[in-house]
Structure 1
């Protein structure tokens, strides 16, 4: 009772000092009224930081420590970030994507019925394993419960969430939990979850007053929360280094969103992106050159005729084939024309020309060599070059992505 009185007194004091920073929200369905702060940066010191000299934040989902500090009211200079690579083997936690289902709100009536056979196929593939379907919304949960014909499914409402979760965890049967709200704070190790389906991109609900105002206050906040939800959801079934869980993303907007994040914010960690089966950029074979034409130019290089190789491949520039740039770079390198080699590789990154992961790695390695020779500053320029490459690649291949 004393603690509750103390909490109420602190709330009244804080609300009186800055009433414009608080939101009143009433849920008619549950009959719950809430006062929520728009932001907590003004309250973190009194409620947490004043009780210690040093605070240790440990999390797998601090996606940007500078924004994390800003939103907690911590001066960035007071933060000492330590980032550790995940010990998990991403091959045991893959993300498989679908290209057929646009799950935007306005398209749900058309797309949702089309997803049923795909989900039933996944359930059949994991017929002896437990899993979870993250529906993101109550509407999608209700649709799937009404249309998926399976006795394995169970779901919950706001009143029995904990009870249903406990039943799911304790069962030895291959149950499938269908839920809009199990994407964080849920521990499903080992056989408790061997597969999961993310039905749509988990954008924050802008119908919530606090969410809407936070999004209006900071244009990066919405993307941060979306990426946070993606990473959190992906991690529900992978809880220790020997664990394994397969994730399926139904929403075909997903790959476009991942590429967009790589261009703009880069909130999604490498381990998340590397787990995606289609993370190799979408291939656009339009304007790609025949192997015989490339081979003719490579003959010049193999015979040491670098001058003719350079002339030959320069005439092919503009075609959507990274082998032109690779061979030009090779010819320039062998001719000791390092400035020209640097220029053609930079031109490649700015072109967004179709390129696989192996070839992209070759370009990076060439720039690292040029860095050692003093022709390119890798640490200062590489990040921006890659952003330009992914941006222009996405624009060129947008029809393939979407």
Structure 2
């Protein structure tokens, strides 16, 4: 057993007065990794284990200049509170700040983006926080800002330690950063048109090579107009400023398109095309750069997750998987035989499925629960057939926050029927005492990107399904005192968990109890 002083003593602040169970050992093991030759550390740390404090202590004890990346605003806000007493800085993108020169504009819309020298740039709130961040020993930001700032701008200075929190979401962040979108609304005013018919990837690269000089000429032409306005001491009209920024952006995207050396997935959209990388591992240097020490951590991190990010195997990868101190018996995960739920499920199977949900609710009218349906269509089906539709709430993509807030304040009985409240949503305590997983959440392979990846890697969709399932099953267990039953009523579950348990964290599989023939009495 490692004996360390309390975290508050190590950090020299009045917060974090005691360790969570096993947290001191986690810090010691992380420090051992830091002083080893291994470059990458994967930390699979269950919810409630205090991984944010582990990151802060690793930074502080190692004396490293550290960047911590987050994927959600909630975690970013938590870090912002935690680092304030440590002299840390939160850095955000320009669209979060006003332009001090022109009232009503954001910093990303300011005249400086038209090439105009800013006479009051020293008082620009964005530049002020960026300068502070480049001087700070500890910086917190999000993946999108980090990827843009370090690949398209001047960066954030020399870095010793990069912590990728919510590491299971880094793949999506990389995909968003790399994806190129071109709209006919952007290119047609320049005299550029999409190829007809839209060809294979090689044809698109050739087209981009021809179109890019035209877009660049357009940007130069608009820039000349802007210089003419300035030479006459006239204000540049907003529509010309916007056209200039758009022209530069189109030229840059076309330039990127010509440089892609592998096949990407081409998606037709209403106004144009999206070009999406099939995989992101070949672009890992865009995320990690030459930072000597890199931590990826998450409650649901797996080896497969960091494989997809291009983290090398072998001696350059260290793996630490922490045990959960939440009693597994407080969150038993059961399979109740019902029906195989997929696109082939007929009306009879759907009726049995809805009846099974009702059986579970019937015995739990003294508490609140959540039913995960994967799709909005299946959510509507349940509400149309359930005997308990009067106590059910569901939502669309536009009102999810309002519906969840209403559900949390309702007295039991109440049931939230949702396809999407997984990552980033918490339902602690009495907010939710049981969860029904209506379907193993395989992604839709009709999506061209998912299909292309599945064709390359037959286990891709199973990995994605497991990641979502773990998130669903953990929404209501946020402390060691929380108690929540989980019922899987898709008969794919038993086979799925047997075959793909390696994609799940250890603490999750410790909660798995197998199959029951009937709906059990409620967990007291």
Question: Which of the five TM-score ranges fits, normalised by the shorter chain?
Answer: 0.5 to 0.7
* 8 A Cα contact 1:237 1:245, kept in partner: yes
Q: Which of residues 69, 75, 78 in structure 1 aligns to 2:312? A: 75
* 8 A Cα contact 2:433 2:483, kept in partner: yes
For residues 208-256 of structure 1, give each alpha carbon's deviation from its aligned partner in whole angstroms, at most 9, with x where no partner exists.
1111111111223222112222212111111112111111111122112
Against the structure 1 CA distance between its residues 82 and 276, is the aligned structure 2 distance closer, same or farther, given a 3 Å change threshold? closer
Q: Which of residues 8, 13, 16 in structure 1 aligns to 2:258? A: 16
- 1:37 corresponds to 2:273: no
Give the structure 1 partner of residue 228 of structure 2. Answer: none
Q: Which is richer in helix?
A: 1
For 2:281, what is the secondary structure of its paired residue?
coil
Against the structure 1 CA distance between its residues 220 and 142, is the aligned structure 2 distance closer, same or farther, given a 3 Å change threshold? same
Give the structure 2 partner of residue 118 of structure 1. Answer: 356
- 1:252 corresponds to 2:491: yes
User: Displacement of 1:27 after TM fit?
Assistant: 6.7
User: Displacement of 1:179 after TM fit?
Assistant: 1.1
For 2:261 and 2:414, locate their aligned partners in 1 and report how far apart those are by CA, in whole Å.
47
Give the structure 1 partner of residue 338 of structure 2. Answer: 100
For 2:383 and 2:275, locate their aligned partners in 1 and report how far apart those are by CA, in whole Å.
33
Q: Which of residues 472, 476, 480 in structure 2 aligns to 1:241? A: 480
Structure 2 residue ranges without an equivalent (≥5): 1-94, 96-106, 114-151, 153-176, 178-248, 518-524
Moved over 4 A (4+): 1-13, 31-35
For 2:298, what is the secondary structure of its paired residue?
coil
User: Displacement of 1:182 after TM fit?
Assistant: 1.9
Against the structure 1 CA distance between its residues 190 and 27, is the aligned structure 2 distance closer, same or farther, given a 3 Å change threshold? farther
- 1:159 corresponds to 2:395: no
For 2:301 and 2:356, locate their aligned partners in 1 and report how far apart those are by CA, in whole Å.
33
For 2:407 and 2:401, locate their aligned partners in 1 and report how far apart those are by CA, in whole Å.
10
Give the structure 1 partner of residue 432 of structure 2. Answer: 193
For 1:163 and 1:33, locate their aligned partners in 2 and report how far apart those are by CA, in whole Å.
33
* 8 A Cα contact 1:15 1:22, kept in partner: no
Against the structure 1 CA distance between its residues 16 and 236, is the aligned structure 2 distance closer, same or farther, given a 3 Å change threshold? farther
Give the structure 1 partner of residue 293 of structure 2. Answer: 54
For 1:133, what is the secondary structure of its paired residue?
strand
User: Displacement of 1:144 after TM fit?
Assistant: 0.3
For 2:447 and 2:413, locate their aligned partners in 1 and report how far apart those are by CA, in whole Å.
35
Q: Which of residues 433, 440, 462 in structure 2 aligns to 1:223? A: 462
User: Displacement of 1:26 after TM fit?
Assistant: 5.5
- 1:207 corresponds to 2:446: yes
Segment drifting more, 240-249 vs 77-86: 77-86
For 1:24 and 1:42, locate their aligned partners in 2 and report how far apart those are by CA, in whole Å.
18
* 8 A Cα contact 1:93 1:275, kept in partner: yes
User: Displacement of 1:129 after TM fit?
Assistant: 1.6
For 2:335, what is the secondary structure of its paired residue?
strand
For 1:234 and 1:186, locate their aligned partners in 2 and report how far apart those are by CA, in whole Å.
12
For 2:338, what is the secondary structure of its paired residue?
strand
For 1:260 and 1:98, locate their aligned partners in 2 and report how far apart those are by CA, in whole Å.
18
User: Displacement of 1:154 after TM fit?
Assistant: 0.9
Against the structure 1 CA distance between its residues 34 and 168, is the aligned structure 2 distance closer, same or farther, given a 3 Å change threshold? farther
Give the structure 2 partner of residue 268 of structure 1. Answer: 504
For 1:160 and 1:71, locate their aligned partners in 2 and report how far apart those are by CA, in whole Å.
33
For 1:273 and 1:112, locate their aligned partners in 2 and report how far apart those are by CA, in whole Å.
28
For 1:163 and 1:15, locate their aligned partners in 2 and report how far apart those are by CA, in whole Å.
40
* 8 A Cα contact 1:273 1:279, kept in partner: no
User: CA RMSD for the aligned pairs?
Assistant: 2.9
For 1:132, what is the secondary structure of its paired residue?
strand
User: Displacement of 1:36 after TM fit?
Assistant: 3.4
Give the structure 1 partner of residue 172 of structure 2. Answer: none
* 8 A Cα contact 1:133 1:196, kept in partner: yes
Q: Which is richer in strand?
A: 2
Give the structure 2 partner of residue 133 of structure 1. Answer: 371
Give the structure 1 partner of residue 416 of structure 2. Answer: 177
Give the structure 1 partner of residue 66 of structure 2. Answer: none
User: Displacement of 1:202 after TM fit?
Assistant: 1.1
* 8 A Cα contact 2:428 2:476, kept in partner: yes
Against the structure 1 CA distance between its residues 172 and 52, is the aligned structure 2 distance closer, same or farther, given a 3 Å change threshold? farther
Q: How many residues align?
A: 273
For residues 160-197 of structure 1, give each alpha carbon's deviation from its aligned partner in whole angstroms, at most 9, with x where no partner exists.
22222232234345421111112322222112211111
Against the structure 1 CA distance between its residues 35 and 177, is the aligned structure 2 distance closer, same or farther, given a 3 Å change threshold? farther
For 1:227 and 1:179, locate their aligned partners in 2 and report how far apart those are by CA, in whole Å.
18
Structure with larger RCO (C-alpha < 8 A, sep 6+): 2
For 1:177 and 1:35, locate their aligned partners in 2 and report how far apart those are by CA, in whole Å.
36
